[in-house]
Structure formats: C-alpha cells, structure tokens
Chain A
Amino acid sequence: MSPYAGAATRVETLLRDTFAGISTLCAHAADLHRAALAEGRSFTTADLSSLRPTVLAQLSPGLAGTGVIVAPGVLADQPRWLEWWRRPAVAGDPFPLTVDLDTGNIGSYDYPLAPWFDVPRRTGRRVVVGPYVDYAGTDEYILTFAIPITSEAGFLGVAAADIRASDFERALLPTLNSAGPATALVNATGRVLASNNPATIVGSMVHAERGDRQELPPGEDWGDCVGLPWFLVRG
C-alpha cells in the first residue's frame, strides 16, 4: 500500500464532506425559491434570512465560512445579496460577513467577477479555487468550494464554503510522511496546498516537470469539478 494512501483518503474525505455541506445549502435555497414562485410571491432577502439556521448548522469547525451568494437580479428587494457566516480564526461565535455591495462605491465587493462565482455560473459545474488572498471579502488566505444553485428559473447564485489555507494544511500534514521524501500536495495551477518540507511551503509554486506526480483525488467522481485534480508531487 502506498505510504500516501492516507493523504488520498484525507483529501477525498475533506472534499466529500465540504461539498456535501454546500449541497445541503444549495437544495434548501432552491426549495425556497421554488416555494416563492409557486405561491406567486417575489423572492426577497427575507427568504434568504430563513436560510440562516441551515447556514449556521453547516458552519462546521473546519470551515472559515459558508453560505449562499445570490446572482444579481434574483432578489426582488436587493440587486446583490449574500447570506454568509464566518467562524473566527481563534475561538468565538460565528459572525456574519459584512461587505459593501453597492456597485456605485469604489471599494465594493464585485463578487460576480470572482472565479468561485463566475465558473459555476458559466459552466454549471462545481469549483474549488485557491489558495488565494481574499482581499475583497474576508481578508484571509483561503480555499473556496462552490456549487451553482439552479432551479427551473435558471441560475440563482452559488452555495459555497471557505477553508483557511492554514487549517487545510494542518489537516493534511499528518498524512504526509515527514520522515519520507519531500512531498507536496499541489493544486491544478501548481500551487502548494500542503508540504512536508520547508523548501516548498504552502503558497509557493511547483513546476510541472519536477518529481513524480499522483492525481488526487483518484477516480472519475471528481471529473466535473473545476480546479481538480490536485497532485501529490514527490521528489
């Protein structure tokens, strides 16, 4: 058995759990929209607020934040809106993301341009992005996992979750044999997500030609996810 089977399992589990959580959010949001349509009333921020208990329930300890980001024009009472809750890096209660959504203001949060929104919108596929500096939103160094929310009415927005790059690395490190050869988990663009050696730290770039690569997660299940597969690079 490969000494890195542990890493493969851990990655697969993390991806499965994270996407399962946002699928729950996605289904609930789509249901709310469907209900509004069926009852002949408009879909508003009040409907999004009723999603809050579900968002908080999905905000597990490993996440930096989770919630729903609505496509422009979907809500009747606000052009742009999100229901997003965050967990502080140190202990503390969940708190909401507060950002300026007014497109007339210079520093406002232009989320339709973000890859975690744009890719699901354009392709209908789920996506994993990062790690990246989320300077416009949370100011943290994170990975974002997102799926499109769609109904008969079309694209409604995305359900997403953030994991801090530091937490992700902490979760993976025990599975990377520290006594073994230099090994790094890198994302699709070559960026290091976790590493057992200081020469290739999280955030640095690893070039394709180096070392021996293994796709993670293995198998067909993740072929539809933009940003996967990742690679375990040894040597």
Chain B
Amino acid sequence: MSDVGVSGRARHVVFAPLQDGGRVDVVARRISEAIGLGLIADGEQLPSELELAGALNVSTMTLREALALLRQRGLVETRRGRGGGSFVRAPVDASVERLRTVLRETGVHELREIGDHLLAVTATAAWLAASRASADQVERLTSLVDQLAAATTVGERRRADGRFHIEIAAAAQSTRLTRQEIDLQGEIGELLWIPFGEAIDRDERVSRHRAVLAAIAEGDADRARRLTEEHVELAISRLIEFHLQLSQREP
C-alpha cells in the first residue's frame, strides 16, 4: 500500500499503538487530534481500516465505529468502491493555522515555564478560594461550569473555561492572582483549545471542574489545590506532546 501523503514520521507518531485501546472514543480522539493539529491534512486519505486498526492495536470493529463517529462530526468522509477509502475533511482557516504555527514554534522550555507559572497561580487560587469563597461565588462558579458543558463552539468553550479559572482567582479575593490568571490565559489559553486538538477534551474538563468546585464548596483547600494541580499538569503535558508531534513533522 503506497504511503498516501502522511510523512513517515508523522504516521509513526499518529498511529502508534494506543495504551488504553479498545475504546471507540479514545480511538476517535486520537485520530481527530491528529486532524486538529494538522498532522493529517484536508483531503488526505487515511490508511485502510485494516492497516489503521493494526497500527493502533484495536479491533477493526472499534476502528470502524470510531470512523463513524468522525464522519458524524464531519471530520472524515468515506467513499466506497474503487479509489474509495476514508478521507479527511478539515478545511483549514487562517486562525487555526496560526495556532498550529504558534504551538509548533513555542519551545518546550517556554511551554514548561508558562505551565509552571500557571500551576503556581491556578492551584494557589483554588486553595485560597476554598477558604474564602462565599456562597454566591460558588453559585456563580457552578453556572460557569454549566456554561462550559452547554457550549457549542470552540470559542464559547474557551471563554467559559477561562472565566471559570478567573472567577476562582476572584473568589480567592486576590487582585494579583486574578490579573496573573488573566494574563496567562492570554498567553496560553487559545493553544489549549485548538479545534479538534483540544489539550483536554471538554467533557473531561467539565468533570474536573466540578470536582474542584466541590472541594471549594466543602472548604477542602488541600483537595482543591491537588485536583487543580492535576488538571493543569495534564493540560501542559498534552500541550507539550502536541508541540513535539508538530515539530517532528516537516512544515
């Protein structure tokens, strides 16, 4: 089977065996991330179902169901018959292209620096908010998580997510932490929300936010901090992972 447009290295990164393979949503997410990051381009053909399933180490049935999900989302279209197969449908707009470029060009060191700063500010804000948030602030935070859960566009999700962290810093009663959270969101926020290349999937983010919020509402400062640290560390490590995938691919 000829190598259809995905460079040898990218194919290796994109289609390495999944560790927790066997779940349709995990397979779908791996492929859609590769599309979202531009590792597989619009119009490119995916390897055959048999090949993909083999490379990812999942059953062909799982792979087929994942492709069906991606077809539903409009990311992939499958043509039958001769010259048929699954093709990526992801026309790139300038803003997404810009984000991918920024992510590719921002070095690991810089991502880690921003990540460390974000960790310090966000986790401390959650820790303080646990002892300082008033009931009405907890209510406001709850409605922000609901907004994230209900958001339909990437822009809406990013804003709802950003506001949640900013409101936690405000609930910590700190103008400095709030200002720093706003600035850090400005620096890194959009990189966490590349369409289909989101560092943390929206539903997982929602459940993590609810867990942090529960800790804050219960006044459990240490738990609020620990959960927030896990959340930020995960986001940054995924961002670094994406950066590495992007920088290994020839531009």
> Contact between B134 and A190 (Cβ–Cβ < 8 Å)?
yes
How many Å lie between the Cα of A205 and that of B136 in the bound state? Answer: 13
Q: Which residues of chain A from 185 to 205 have any CB-CB distance to chain B below 8 Å in the complex?
A: 189-191, 203-205
Q: Beyond A131-B173, A135-B182, A139-B175, is A204–B134 a contact (Cβ under 8 Å)?
A: no
> Contact between B173 and A189 (Cβ–Cβ < 8 Å)?
no
Q: CB < 8 Å: which of A135, A190, A191, A204 contacts B179?
A: A135
> Contact between B131 and A204 (Cβ–Cβ < 8 Å)?
yes
Q: Beyond A106-B159, A189-B136, is A133–B175 a contact (Cβ under 8 Å)?
A: yes
Does A43 sit at the interface, judged by CB under 8 A? no
Q: CB < 8 Å: which of A133, A189, A190, A204 contacts B174?
A: A133
Contacts of A189 in B (CB 8 A): 134-136
Render B210-231 as a binary contact track against A, CB cut-off 8 A, 1 for contact. Answer: 0000000000000000000000
> Contact between B175 and A191 (Cβ–Cβ < 8 Å)?
no
> Contact between B132 and A205 (Cβ–Cβ < 8 Å)?
yes
Q: Tell me the count of chain B residues lying within 8 A, CB to CB, of chain A.
A: 16
> Contact between A204 and B132 (Cβ–Cβ < 8 Å)?
yes
Does A132 sit at the interface, judged by CB under 8 A? yes
> Contact between A135 and B136 (Cβ–Cβ < 8 Å)?
no
Contact count band on A: 10 to 19
How many Å lie between the Cα of A106 and that of B135 in the bound state? Answer: 27
How many Å lie between the Cα of A121 and that of B182 in the bound state? Answer: 29
Q: Which residues of chain B from 138 to 188 have any CB-CB distance to chain A below 8 Å in the complex?
A: 159, 166, 169-170, 173-175, 178-179, 182
Smallest Cβ distance from A115 to chain B, in angstroms?
8
Q: Which residues of chain A from 203 to 220 have any CB-CB distance to chain B below 8 Å in the complex?
A: 203-205
Q: CB < 8 Å: which of B131, B136, B173 contacts A133?
A: B173
Contacts of B136 in A (CB 8 A): 189
Contacts of B133 in A (CB 8 A): 205
> Contact between B131 and A141 (Cβ–Cβ < 8 Å)?
no
How many Å lie between the Cα of A140 and that of B178 in the bound state? Answer: 10
> Contact between B166 and A135 (Cβ–Cβ < 8 Å)?
yes
Contacts of A203 in B (CB 8 A): 132, 173
Contacts of B169 in A (CB 8 A): 133, 135
How many Å lie between the Cα of A205 and that of B135 in the bound state? Answer: 10
Contacts of A132 in B (CB 8 A): 170
> Contact between B175 and A205 (Cβ–Cβ < 8 Å)?
no
Most chain A beta carbons < 10 A, residue from B134, B159, B182? B134
Task: Write the chain B residue with the least CB distance to A106.
Answer: B159
How many Å lie between the Cα of A131 and that of B134 in the bound state? Answer: 11
Task: Write the chain A residue with the least CB distance to B173.
Answer: A203
> Contact between A141 and B175 (Cβ–Cβ < 8 Å)?
yes
Contacts of A190 in B (CB 8 A): 134
> Contact between B182 and A141 (Cβ–Cβ < 8 Å)?
no
Task: Write the chain B residue with the least CB distance to A207.
Answer: B219
Smallest Cβ distance from B147 to chain A, in angstroms?
12
How many Å lie between the Cα of A203 and that of B169 in the bound state? Answer: 13
Task: Write the chain A residue with the least CB distance to B179.
Answer: A139
Q: Which residues of chain B from 70 to 124 have any CB-CB distance to chain A below 8 Å in the complex?
A: none
Q: Which residues of chain A from 109 to 151 have any CB-CB distance to chain B below 8 Å in the complex?
A: 131-133, 135, 139-141
Contacts of A106 in B (CB 8 A): 159
| In the complex, the 4 A-B pairs of residues with the closest C-beta atoms, listed nearest first | A203-B173, A189-B134, A133-B170, A135-B178
Identify 5 residue pairs between A and B in the complex whose beta-carbon atoms are under 8 Å apart, listed by A's number. Answer: A133-B170, A135-B166, A135-B179, A139-B175, A190-B134
Given contacts A133-B169, A139-B179, 4 further A-B contacts (CB under 8 A): A132-B170, A135-B166, A139-B175, A141-B173
